[in-house]
């Protein structure tokens, strides 16, 4: 199983029936592929859609039914559409149960940086700052390291997305919770030891006596 | 509301004007208006919108043609030209959180001086802004935004200028329609009065200044 699949499958286990969930671009989008069969989830696209469905079949795209990247999607039964003020009212106003975003860095206090690398990559924050501030639960989906360097570090060197701490970080090596304000190792991926995780993490991790393996 | 041809509507917009333009990655963008702005060679524009789409699409066309002096947007990640022009200092780009941008525009159209939002507190977005604490929570004071022109795309406009929107093409459109001195509408379909039932009208006719006729 590749890294992205491990991450997406594990995060899908965080879903609960009836949740309103926003998935960011990249690995987060793949979480939708692993929703437990029969579990109703409302996926929001911040461009103004709740009830986002799969990519339409060839030739069935509609010019005004798109996701936040402008790509054609479908709408599931029970879907709704609205303007951008409403969309971010849902996000900021505490109506969004969970957001899943990508990450560049997460620090020891659970603060996320995911929107720019000064001088190099300046995509803009889009909806990320509102999502991290407003969602009831913030889950970060990212690779554990970038070019061999840890992404879970003592202090973010990149501009923060928010000072609000994230709840959960899921990587291809581990599940790390920040629920009590400290980075706590909850699970390791199959075949990955606690030592492997620690060797690839700069932030100090709380390691409980029992750390189970992810059940994928 | 006055119905006028595309050429005449765009001729109202001078060089250097500030424009709010509807659309999200080009979906719900008034594409004919943008093409005509380029044809008439407009320069030095300030553009407020969600994004600059992609090169060759929607607002991305204005960026490629170097018609934009300043862009106030939330995301330019899918338009490398905007990023290059920004990093080279050729185009001024203000990046604003999406929920903050739309709410600042909403405030501008609803007679408010600004909004208080928790988004951006403790980040670079806070620089130069006032922070207020209300009931123990910190907020940034974000001022209202208005523009000279709103360039709105809708799915249906009736003969009086009542507007309805389609699916995800709605996005910024009904909000910017409230926040500009002059509101110009490009409708995908122009329909007789009554075809849009009163409770399906999203933008009421009195806020629309010009409806572009289908030539």
Confidence of residue A77 (pLDDT cuts 50, 70, 90): very high
By Cβ distance, the residue of B73, B95, B168 closest to A66 is B168
Would the CB atoms of A49 and B74 count as touching at under 8 Å? Answer: no
Write down the pLDDT at residue A121.
86
Cβ contacts of A50 on chain B, cutoff 8 Å: none
Write down the pLDDT at residue A149.
96
Smallest Cα distance from B50 to chain A, Å: 8
Would the CB atoms of A69 and B98 count as touching at under 8 Å? Answer: no
d(CA A51, CA A21): 10
Using one digit for the tens of pLDDT, what is the confidence trace for B27-53?
A: 999 999 999 999 999 999 999 999 999
d(CA B83, CA A171): 29
Question: A86 pLDDT exceeds 90?
Answer: yes
b/e sequence B178-202, b meaning 16+ C-beta within 10 Å:
bbbebbbbbbbebeeeeebeeeebb
Would the CB atoms of B119 and A69 count as touching at under 8 Å? Answer: no
Smallest Cα distance from B191 to chain A, Å: 19
Would the CB atoms of B172 and A126 count as touching at under 8 Å? Answer: no
Cβ contacts of B78 on chain A, cutoff 8 Å: 69-70, 123
Closest CA to B189 of B171, B150, B162, B207: B162
Average pLDDT score over residue span A199-213:
97
- Residue A50 sits at the chain B interface (C-beta within 8 Å): no
DSSP letter for B73, please: E
Cβ contacts of A162 on chain B, cutoff 8 Å: 119, 121-123
ipTM of the complex in this document: 0.97
Confidence of residue A4 (pLDDT cuts 50, 70, 90): very high
Average pLDDT score over residue span B197-206:
98
Task: Write down the CATH number for the domain with range B2-114+146-212.
Answer: 3.40.1080.10
d(CA A34, CA A7): 11
Average pLDDT score over residue span A115-128:
92
Q: Pick the catalytic residue from A14, A46, A108, A172.
A: A46
Write down the pLDDT at residue A2.
95
Write down the pLDDT at residue A119.
85
Write down the pLDDT at residue B111.
98
Write down the pLDDT at residue B214.
87
Confidence of residue A30 (pLDDT cuts 50, 70, 90): very high
Write down the pLDDT at residue B200.
98
- Residue A80 sits at the chain B interface (C-beta within 8 Å): no
Other CB atoms within 10 A of residue A131 CB: 29
Average pLDDT score over residue span A48-74:
94
Model pTM score: 0.97
B172 to chain A: closest CA residue: A84
Cβ contacts of A92 on chain B, cutoff 8 Å: 99, 117-119
By Cβ distance, the residue of A69, A130, A162 closest to B25 is A69
Q: Are A199 and A174 in contact (CB under 8 A)?
A: no
Write down the pLDDT at residue A94.
96
Question: B215 pLDDT exceeds 80?
Answer: no
Smallest Cα distance from A207 to chain B, Å: 30
Cβ contacts of A88 on chain B, cutoff 8 Å: 98-99, 102-103
SS3 state of residue B52: coil
- Strand intervals (E) in B13-164: 18-21, 45-48, 68-73, 92-95, 114-117, 131-134, 137-143, 147-158, 163-164
If 0-12 CB within 10 Å is exposed, 13-18 middle and 19+ buried, where does residue A83 land? Answer: buried
Q: Place domain A3-199 in its CATH homologous superfamily.
A: Glutaconate Coenzyme A-transferase (3.40.1080.10)
Q: Are A123 and B74 in contact (CB under 8 A)?
A: no
Average pLDDT score over residue span B105-130:
98
Question: A120 pLDDT exceeds 90?
Answer: no
Q: What is the 3-state secondary structure (H, E, C) of chain A?
A: CCHHHHHHHHHHCCCCCCCEEEECCCHHHHHHHHCCCCCCCEEEECCCEEEEECCCCCCCCCCCCECCCCCECEEEEEEEECCHHHHHHHHHCCCCCEEEECCCEEECCCCEECCCECCCECCCCCCHHHHHHHCCEEEEECCCEECCEECEECCCCCCCCCCCCCCEEECCCEEEECCCCCCEEEEECCCCCHHHHHHCCCCCCECCCCCCECCC
Q: Are A43 and A32 in contact (CB under 8 A)?
A: yes
Write down the pLDDT at residue A7.
98
Write down the pLDDT at residue B156.
98
Smallest Cα distance from B201 to chain A, Å: 13
Mean pLDDT of chain A, nearest integer: 96
Write down the pLDDT at residue B110.
98
Task: Judge whether A46 counts as a catalytic residue.
Answer: yes
Which residues have CB under 8 Å from B155's CB, separation 6+?
A: A64, B164, B165, B166, B169, B187, B188, B189
d(CA A24, CA A20): 14
Smallest Cα distance from A36 to chain B, Å: 27
By Cβ distance, the residue of A123, A126, A159 closest to B123 is A159
Lowest-pLDDT range, A80-84, B49-53, B211-215?
A: B211-215
d(CA A212, CA B12): 67
Confidence of residue A26 (pLDDT cuts 50, 70, 90): confident
């Amino acid at each position: 199983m590749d890294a992205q699949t491990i991450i997406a499958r594990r995060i899908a286990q965080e879903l609960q029936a009836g949740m309103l969930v926003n998935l960011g671009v990249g690995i987060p989008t793949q979480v939708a592929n692993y929703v437990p069969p029969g579990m109703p989830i409302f996926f929001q696209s911040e461009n103004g859609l709740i009830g986002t469905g799969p990519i339409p079949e060839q030739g069935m795209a509609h010019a005004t039914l798109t996701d936040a990247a402008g790509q054609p999607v479908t709408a599931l039964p029970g879907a709704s559409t609205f303007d951008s003020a409403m969309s971010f009212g849902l996000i900021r106003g505490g109506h969004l149960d969970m957001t899943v975003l990508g990450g560049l860095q997460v620090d020891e206090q659970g603060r996320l940086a995911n929107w720019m690398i000064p001088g190099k990559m300046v995509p803009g924050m889009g909806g990320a700052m509102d999502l991290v501030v407003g969602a009831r639960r913030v889950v970060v989906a990212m690779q554990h390291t970038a070019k061999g360097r840890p992404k879970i570090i003592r202090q973010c060197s990149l501009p923060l997305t928010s000072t609000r701490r994230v709840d959960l970080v899921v990587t291809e090596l581990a599940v790390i919770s920040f629920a009590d304000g400290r980075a706590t190792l909850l699970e390791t991926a199959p075949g990955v030891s606690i030592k492997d995780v620690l060797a690839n993490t700069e932030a100090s991790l709380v390691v409980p006596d029992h750390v189970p393996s992810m059940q994928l | 509301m006055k119905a006028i041809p595309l050429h005449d509507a765009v001729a109202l917009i001078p060089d250097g004007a500030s424009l709010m333009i509807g659309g999200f990655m080009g979906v719900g963008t008034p594409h004919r208006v943008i093409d005509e702005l380029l044809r008439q060679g407009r320069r030095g524009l300030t553009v407020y919108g969600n994004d600059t789409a992609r090169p060759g699409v929607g607002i991305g066309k204005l960026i490629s043609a170097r018609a934009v002096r300043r862009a106030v947007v939330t995301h330019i990640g899918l338009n490398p030209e905007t990023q290059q022009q920004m990093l080279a200092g050729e185009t001024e780009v203000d990046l604003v959180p999406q929920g903050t941008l739309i709410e600042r525009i909403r405030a501008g159209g609803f007679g408010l001086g600004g909004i208080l939002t928790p988004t951006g507190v403790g980040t670079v977005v806070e620089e130069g802004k006032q922070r207020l604490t209300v009931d123990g929570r910190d907020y940034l004071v974000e001022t209202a935004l208005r523009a000279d022109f709103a360039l709105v795309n809708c799915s249906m406009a009736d003969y009086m200028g009542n507007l309805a929107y389609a699916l995800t093409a709605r996005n910024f459109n009904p909000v910017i329609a409230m926040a500009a001195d002059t509101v110009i509408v490009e409708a995908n379909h122009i329909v007789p009065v009554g075809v849009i039932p009163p409770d399906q009208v999203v933008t009421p006719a009195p806020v629309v200044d010009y409806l572009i006729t289908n030539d």
